Structure 1
């Protein structure tokens, strides 16, 4: 069968027809236009003003017909929810006969279905499926009456909803499904103060990738961030006018652009960069310091290594893994140690070291599988998130999990098959990946990939690390005190028990307030009762400094979950200012729990920040949790500034600003968080004389800690003061990076 030949004239006429349907901007730029209304995808992506010519005729295209069919099916679905089939048929018959349809009373959504309290029919079983379907029906938004339709009977008992029905006030919590979630976190223009900067495809706009998954209002090109992420709440909060949601499309677009401009400003830490010289040469003495710093500062938060074993291999007292893998591991340890050692976020020494490790993590590394490689990928994922490459770290973590499952780390093998040391090491690696992956997944609000069935690996024992060596015949007895395994045990248990809550939060239909309260009271409270006494909230001041951050994360994480659980209900309550709606008891209790969790988080974090060591690692976690908590009183202040609780909310925001200001030199995102807070509610922060507080003068913080002070405080713990000082001023023998790599005698 011959293919029909299309003449040149026909092709030109088709192209002209397509061009006539394009918007003015796409025609002017000769770009492809998808003709979407009210704004085409190209204009939406590049923030252009999209205008169409008035059409004389409806475009006869397949795309237009598909859109019309979709709109028709939605309209039919709405009619079926409001009227029965008989009523719809009656109205259509009247319309065909030329009569004005006499509409029956419109029933609300809740009236068209059986109430939740109705008893089941005889012989039926109240199955989970039936309960879920019933919950889906009753959780639909209720259509509000908008007054008379203007027909002959203005006093009729029914009213018809118009097209101006107010959208759901929590709609902005969800990402825009039309966004493109592709990302590129390669170092196209390098790092500025530890922040990954990329370039926009067309306009060269600076984009900052955010490891906290919070500082973005535009989902495009950042990867998918779900409705439970901090970015979703910030988007919802920013899009409001301050006195409630603004649904004007022009105002919405302007506010998105303002937010993007604010977040794309150069961070203050990069302005300090000239004062700190980035290390271009790394000496063996410096690597020694970085390794020590890793085990003092980072290891208690992520104990995926066994310190005595690694140090023995590092000192050549024990056989090392294969040469390529060993170089990867030692470089990643050094990179993480440099990250927590350098007191300024503008020092990119850690990134330089990590680049060397990455050279060995080529694609062919995926063709092998061993414990060292799992450790390397897991630690790389941790590092990449901390330098604001969240999607890249997410991918590395996924590789580590797949490889760990391939090695059987999720299974428990008896002591007759494996030595006590090997058993404990496998457990630590597996549950370290659990804390890494589940924590990151919830931060980004993505579906869990962590296996929830078929896993029987036991939690690591609460033993002192130095008590278990490679040749130990038995596992030493557990101790009743904090160890490097304590945080891993407590956090793994937390994730295992609260994963059902998170799965419910990201599922449809959304859970009802009473269900959320039940989940919190039964699951979170049950987990809290299992936390050992030496890791309770109240035990923080008595802990060693190396266990302070793991303990703090443990306290802040479950409160952050409570904030996420109850945040949609708090948003609903905050937006009801001046209206007649009243909350049910369950909604009020949920709102109170959200407010209490935010208040307790801010107070706990402020006390921790003032009393404990301040490093770039602590600054990362502190900024993430305190900013998430601060968005709650900020939301309340913007919508309920006259509330009796407003002074307390102002105090919470002020405390947050104090902490955030003091870490600008340590965390490049801190200045952006401060700017966002001031933009959102700076006008609501007043003192007793009703005058605005000038935070730049009121706080006027000096740098948190300079290099000399940090050295003096850490020298006794790390290595020795002379070696540390010598490595900083380059008085020790300088070796190129490749030279100290070759010094391992592999």
Structure 2
């Protein structure tokens, strides 16, 4: 017998059941994990809700750990060993880890030369294609540390013609400003130079290049420096060809310390190695690379901690590195940075203030004199290296600087050389004061008004006129004095030329000639560039201190006739400009052994010169296109041409237009009349220079076609 019981249950809310028995999560929230308490897995959980921390109740996704199988590990290991074996056969003289830093071209060169380490680095021109370099890496000098010397990819000198790449800031006084004006006058020049640069890259890409030494090498690679006959020769070369410009070292004390070979402190070793590096440069040809090892050794003693040093030797070593050496190897931005840091160090040491009177006796007097010479040498180096960059001076001659000029001492014949160094330094300081004022004015406004320009020019002329006779005349003298005299004069011509050059750059972008003052400034600039080229050709010497400066100032001066040829290709002065450029090209060739950048400078100048000659032969093609803004003028000219008879007398018209009265000489509003035959006349009237030029090329081209028919 079965009994069945039936009952009823009250319906319950499903939501209530869910809340009473929550579903457990797979893991606790982040807040509960941190507090190490039990979590119910809800969102938010009870613990966070009770503490009003709902915002912190966050569950993170757990990542399952994947353990590779033994077979996978064995396969990867075998594949890696096979690749290492292949790389070892291809590059037997390289560590595999070092290959990652090499470019594709460098790897190819290493394979072609059997992995030899002395032929891995390609010519710097190989690294110039625009698509392979990021836009902001043009002046990244760290990227070019692996390049052999010289490194042409220098935006300051524009030796690799990097027109389209971003560069460090350069003002109106820079070479880049002149090259930009050339491209604006002749846009076709860009394509011609690009093709010529590509051809030059193909020719020079297999040239053997010697890599420079780098600070990443082991510290004990070079022995401790002791006296040697070779080192003595380098020290002598430094004091003969460098010290005459920046006599910041006490020559007697320096030579004594070097001969004794007792000092082994880092400030002394840094200074000694920089002196040896500069001595190696000025005592050898441009192909020599011994200076690299001395510079590398000096840099091991000039790390970041050196900027906190209070030793004058450290300051002097940084001045030589930033003011001379880095500019020689085409690292100008790094050189400016180091020289700026040296200025900060010198001001922190109080070198910009005149010592008190109680320090004016005995050894203190000599130390105070060295401080003066060191400070003013820094001022001169900074002025010389930034004059052609168009950057502000940041107050080299501010009122807070009251240090006196170096004092001249005459100690008989033995002290004549050092006294000449002081004389040269004092005159260079006066020149740099004028140059700094000009530099700051050009940094504010590129084109100076005629009054300011004449005032600056008069100051420069007055400085040059009142130079001591030993520095101003052409009498026979020792080599150091002759070198100082020539370089000072080259700087004088260059600064005067840069003072007037903005007028030429501005005129190339104008549709018509400006006021008479601008025209006079252009002629003055062209005349100064001619004088500079002729002076360099007569006075340069066959050693690197002379060749280095000569190439730089010659490169600056040659840009003026090049730009003038592109701007006024039909001027009667073209023949003279062409002769100046050809003289410069000959000098660059002669200076190849005495300047690191002579070959590159010659390449840039010759490319622009050949391209400009090609454009002059082809004619200005852009002017043959119709000008939409001068339709009325073109219609009138075509009407005159249609009415003129097609006879042999048309040749006379062409001859008259092209030879007897060439177009660029005409001024706006000039009326030209030419007899065509049978009493008819051909008249051309122009109200605007631009319209006249377009009409000029159009009428002559049509006349040539009519004559041919």
Give the structure-1-normalised TM-score.
0.57
Q: Is 1:632 equivalent to 2:569 in the alignment?
A: no
State how 1:330-345 maps to structure 2 within 5 Å: 330-343=272-285, 345=286
In the alignment, the residues of structure 2 paired with residue 290 and residue 571 of structure 1 have an alpha-carbon distance, to the nearest angstrom, of: 43
Relative distance call for 1:519 and 1:481 in structure 2 (3 A) is: farther
- Gaps of at least 5 residues in structure 2 are 1-53, 59-127, 212-220, 615-709
2:389 to 444, 447, 457: 444
- 2:516 is matched with 585
Residue of structure 1 equivalent to 2:301:
360
SS at match of 2:388: helix
What's the CA shift string for 1:503-554, capped at 9, x where partnerless? Answer: 111114x444423433334432332343222212xx1453321122221221
Which deviations, in whole Å up to 9, do the C-alpha atoms of 1:717-746 show, x marking residues without a partner?
Answer: xxxxxxxxxxxxxxxxxxxxxxxxxxxxxx
Does residue 405 of the first structure (1) align with residue 347 of the second (2)?
yes
Asked whether 1:186 is paired with 2:132, we answer no
How far apart are the structure 1 equivalents of 2:199 and 2:491?
A: 28
Look up the match of 1:307. Answer: 251
1:519 to 2:452 alignment: no
Q: Deviations over 1:307-335 (max 9, x none)?
A: 11100111229x85x71111111111111
Q: In terms of mean alpha carbon deviation, does 228-237 or 433-442 score higher?
A: 228-237
SS in 2 for 1:326: helix
CA distance in 1, matches of 2:176, 2:524: 21
Quick one: distance in 2 between partners of 1:334 and 1:597?
37
CA deviation string 1:142-195 (max 9, x = no partner): xxxxxxxxxxxxxxxxxxxxxxxxxxxxxxxxxxxx963774323766342x31
Would you say the 8 A contact 2:170–2:176 is kept in 1? yes
For residues 449 and 206 of structure 2, what CA distance do their matches in structure 1 show? 43
CA drift at 1:210? 6.2
Separation in structure 2 between the aligned mates of residue 280 and residue 270 of structure 1, nearest angstrom? 29
Matched, 1:492 2:429: yes
Cα 1:455/1:307, change in 2 over 3 Å: same
> Number of residue pairs matched?
474
Tell me, what secondary structure is at the counterpart of 2:461? helix
Residues 446-504 of structure 1 deviation map (CA, whole Å, 9 limit, x = unaligned) = 22134332111111123358889xxxxxxx9xx89970122211111111123222111
- Please report how far the alpha carbon of residue 601 of structure 1 lies from its aligned counterpart in structure 2 after TM superposition: 0.5
Q: 1:521 to 1:546 in 2, by over 3 A?
A: closer
How many Å apart are 1:271 and its aligned residue? 4.8
> Who is 2:337 aligned against?
395
Conserved 8 A contact 1:211-1:389? no
* Distance apart, 1:46 and its partner CA: 8.2
Match of 1:607 in 2: 538
Q: Could you report, residue by residue, the CA deviation over 1:326-353 in whole angstroms, capped at 9, with x for unpaired residues?
A: 111111111111111222x232110111
Task: Tell me if the contact between 1:637 and 1:646 (Cα under 8 Å) persists in the aligned partners.
Answer: yes
**Shift, 1:292, TM fit:** 1.6
CA 1:443–1:219 in structure 2 vs 1: closer, same or farther (change >3 Å)?
farther
Alignment of 1:433-582 (within 5 A): 433-453=378-398, 454-463=400-409, 483-508=420-445, 510-536=446-472, 539-573=473-507, 581-582=512-513
Report the secondary structure of 1:360's partner residue.
coil
Q: Given that residues 178 and 505 in structure 2 are in contact (C-alpha distance below 8 angstroms), is that contact kept between their aligned partners in structure 1?
A: no
1:655-677 superposed Cα distances (whole Å, 9 cap, x missing partner): 11111011223323222222222
Aligned equivalents of 2:411 and 2:304: distance in 1?
34
**Contact 1:301/1:549 (<8 A) preserved:** no
Corresponding residue for 2:597?
Answer: 669
Tell me the CA shift for residue 268 of structure 1. Answer: 10
Q: Quote the offset at 1:366 in angstroms.
A: 2.0
Deviation at 1:219, TM superposition (A): 6.9
Structure 2 residue matching 1:416: 3-state secondary structure: helix
Q: Check the 8 A contact 1:627/1:673 in 2, yes or no.
A: yes
Q: Distance in 1 between matches of 2:346 and 2:370?
A: 12
For 1:215-294, list aligned pairs within 5 A.
Answer: 216-218=161-163, 220=165, 222-237=167-182, 239-240=183-184, 244-246=185-187, 254=191, 257-258=194-195, 261=198, 271=208, 284-294=228-238
Give 2:608's aligned residue: 680
In the alignment, what sits opposite 1:654?
Answer: 582
Pair 1:392–1:338, CA change in 2 (3 A): same
After TM superposition, list the pairs within 5 Å mapping 1:123-134 onto structure 2. Answer: none
- TM-score, scaled relative to structure 2: 0.60
CA distance in 2, matches of 1:299, 1:682: 40
Paired residue secondary structure (2:396)? coil
How far off is 1:389 after superposition? 1.2
Q: Contact 2:138–2:155 at 8 Å: present in 1 too? A: no
Cα deviations across residues 367-425 of structure 1 (Å, max 9, x unaligned)?
A: 22221111011011111111111112112111211111111111112443233312221
Q: Assess if the C-alpha contact under 8 Å between 2:328 and 2:596 holds in 1.
A: no
- Tell whether the 8 Å contact from 1:307 to 1:465 is kept in structure 2 after alignment: no
In structure 1, distance between residues paired with 2:373 and 2:196:
42
DSSP-derived class of the 1:305 partner? coil
Whether contact under 8 Å (2:442, 2:448) holds in the other structure is no
For residues 418 and 290 of structure 2, what CA distance do their matches in structure 1 show?
A: 36
Distance between the aligned counterparts of 2:450 and 2:430, measured in 1? 25
Deviations 1:255-275 (A, max 9, x none): 67457647867879965869x
Deviation at 1:231, TM superposition (A): 2.3
Structure 1 residue 287: deviation in Å?
1.7
For the structure 1 residues 310 and 666, does the alpha-carbon distance in structure 2 shift closer, same or farther, using more than 3 Å as the test? same
Q: Counterpart of 2:366?
A: 421
Name which one, 1 or 2, has greater alpha-carbon Rg: 2
Structure 1 or 2: larger helix share? 2
User: Does residue 323 of structure 1 match 2:265?
Assistant: yes
- Partners of 1:667 and 1:265 lie apart in 2 by 23
Q: Is this contact kept in 2: 1:262–1:675, CA < 8 A?
A: no
Q: Which residue of 1 aligns with 2:678?
A: none
Judged with a 3 Å threshold, the aligned counterparts in structure 2 of structure 1 residues 370 and 353 are, in CA distance, closer, same or farther, namely same
- Relative distance call for 1:218 and 1:455 in structure 2 (3 A) is same
Q: Which residue of 2 aligns with 1:195?
A: 150
| Equivalent-residue separation in structure 1 for 2:319 and 2:257 (angstroms) | 20
Q: Secondary structure at the match of 2:521?
A: helix
The question of 1:346 aligning with 2:287 is answered yes
- Distance 1:315-1:195 versus aligned 2 partners, 3 A rule: same
Which has the bigger relative contact order, CA under 8 A and spacing at least 6?
1
Residues in 1 aligned to 2:482 and 2:461: alpha-carbon distance in whole angstroms: 22
Report the Cα distance in structure 1 between the residues aligned to 2:411 and 2:565, rounded to whole angstroms: 48
